[in-house]
Amino acid sequence: MEKHHTKDCHSHNHGHGHSHGHSHDHENELDPMVARVRALETILTDKGLIDPAAIDAIVETYETKIGPRNGARVVAKSWADPDFRAWLEKDATAAIASLGYSGRQAEHMQALFNTETTHNVVVCTLCSCYPWAVLGLPPVWYKSPPYRSRVVVEPRKVLSEFGLELADDVEIKVWDSTAEVRYLVIPMRPQGTDGMSEEELVDLVNRNSMIGTDIAHLPAPVTSHKGDAS
């Protein structure tokens, strides 16, 4: 079972009973600011003033490491602290701000808690609304027209393409971010982590699990190599 959730500020229609009031025809065009940035990058690259590979490395760091680390701390604290979890359910904006994560793109946050029977996934069908304060820069695929349109229509198939296979009896809820609200998925805590500290739990949370295209994972076991000292 799949459900699509959106706010009143914009509604959608993908031919499956949901009313949507905007077209995706413009999505293949570059945003004016993006176009200017790319033009500037090209000029600076041609002059030898910047190294595109270095820029890509910095962007990758903020996309996958520094930014998402904030959200991972929110998730880990919700796993370890029942009072914080209750606060997060009641007022996610205030709970997240108490950890120092606030500002633009995080003014109105809502936490979505995965359970054994419900899995949440987030999209922005209108543009690319994203909780920068807790997840850093949005990944390219999150902003892409295929993801933005398909995850609403066929979420189970899209998740399988990310490598996430959910049981048929797990309900998938698709949440549409807007300028008024941003979502943070709280993945289920992996089994076998009862003795782990909050900081250790942070390392189990990845960016995609907080968007809903993955789950939190236990670290892969370290395999010993023949010849290692015992």
What are the catalytic residues?
124, 127-129
Query: Which residue carries 């309900």 as its tokens?
Result: 171
Query: Which residues are CB-contacts of 3 (< 8 A; sequence separation ≥ 6)?
Result: 171, 172, 173, 174
| Contact between 166 and 177 (Cβ < 8 Å) | no
Strand-pairing partners, residue 12, are 20
Distance in angstroms (rounded) separating the CA atoms of residues 34 and 95: 33
Residues in CB range of 43: below 8 A, 6 or more apart: none
Sheet of strand 2-5, all strands in order from the earlier edge strand to the far edge = 2-5, 171-176, 118-123
Q: How far is CA 118 from the centre of its chain?
A: 17
